[in-house]
């Protein structure tokens, strides 16, 4: 199998996924399926890689999805994405002598925090000066009215 092919879907796991998406326990799911289903039979079904077409249709009806959706569902792209992000050949942790994923960072986050704090102090001082100017103006206007 090449890396471009997706592995064949494990239908039992896919049924389990959609059952859990519907917040159904195995027992509640068995009740919805009706006789002769039981919790044990649902458990056995979820362990099967292949499921008969008529059974899959019945399950799909109860889960309100099509049987094709159950057949085609796969978690492989998610796993592949995680592997690409953390174990890929372009990961910076594997390059540059294992110095971590932030190697090559061009700024110090603490410096940026200090810069932001200094900017806040300047803005605060400007607001205080503006407030004082308005107070002086209002006092002058009150003096003129008297």
Of 44, 60, 51, nearest to 10 by C-alpha is 51
pLDDT mean over 69-80: 69
Cβ–Cβ < 8 Å for 89, 34:
no
Band (105; pLDDT cuts 50, 70, 90): low
Of 108, 92, 90, 88, nearest to 100 by C-alpha is 92
Per-domain boundaries in the chain? 11-74, 107-146
Band (106; pLDDT cuts 50, 70, 90): confident
81 CB burial (10 A radius; 0-12, 13-18, 19+): exposed
Distances (CA, A) of 70 to 30, 56, 128: 18, 8, 64
pLDDT of residue 14: 85
Cβ–Cβ < 8 Å for 74, 82:
no
Q: What percent of the chain has pLDDT over 70?
A: 74
Of 36, 33, 44, nearest to 11 by C-alpha is 44
Higher pLDDT, 83 or 71: 71
Q: State yes or no: pLDDT of 115 exceeds 90.
A: yes
Cβ–Cβ < 8 Å for 19, 29:
yes
pLDDT of residue 10: 83
Q: State yes or no: pLDDT of 130 exceeds 90.
A: yes
pLDDT of residue 144: 92
Residue range 11-74 forms a domain whose CATH class is mainly alpha
């Amino acid at each position: 199998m090449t890396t471009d092919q997706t592995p064949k879907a494990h239908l039992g796991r896919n049924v389990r996924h959609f059952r859990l998406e519907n917040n159904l326990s195995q027992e509640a799911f068995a009740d919805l399926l009706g006789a002769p289903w039981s919790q044990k039979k649902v458990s056995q079904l979820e362990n099967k890689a292949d499921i008969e077409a008529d059974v899959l249709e019945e399950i799909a009806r109860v889960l309100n999805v099509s049987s094709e959706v159950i057949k085609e569902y796969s978690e492989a792209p998610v796993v592949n994405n995680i592997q690409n992000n953390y174990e890929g050949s372009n990961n910076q942790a594997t390059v540059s002598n294992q110095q971590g994923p932030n190697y090559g960072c061009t700024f110090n986050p603490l410096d940026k925090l200090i810069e932001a704090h200094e900017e806040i102090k300047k803005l605060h001082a400007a607001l205080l000066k503006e407030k004082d100017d308005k107070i002086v103006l209002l006092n002058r206007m009150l003096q003129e009215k008297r």
